[in-house]
Amino acid sequence: MRIDLHLHTVHSGDSSITLGEALRWCERRGLDGFAVTDHDTVEGVRGLPREGGCLIIP
C-alpha cells in the first residue's frame, strides 16, 4: 500500500491544492491514499467524498 503521509490543502496556507485536486493527484500517481496535514484546521477534510479509490486520512 502506497500512501503519502504529508499533504496540505488550501486551508493550511502552505498549498494551493484543493481536496478534489489532491484526489486526482493521488489517482494519477497510483497512490492508495494520503493524509491531510493542514495546520490548525480540519476544513480541508470536511465533506470528504465517500466514493473513489483513494483513502483519505484526516
Q: Can you tell me the distance from the alpha carbon of 51 to that of 48, in angstroms, rounded to the nearest whole number? A: 9
Residue 2 has pLDDT above 90, yes or no: yes
Are 41 and 16 in contact by the 8 Å Cβ rule? The answer is no
Cβ-based neighbour number of residue 21 at 10 Å: 13
Residues 6+ apart with CB under 8 A from 30: 2
Residue 53 has pLDDT above 80, yes or no: no
Q: Identify the band that residue 51 occupies on the pLDDT scale cut at 50, 70 and 90.
A: low
The structure's pTM equals: 0.79
Q: Identify the band that residue 49 occupies on the pLDDT scale cut at 50, 70 and 90.
A: low
Residue 54 has pLDDT above 90, yes or no: no
pLDDT tens for 8-42 read 999 888 899 988 898 899 999 999 999 999 998 88
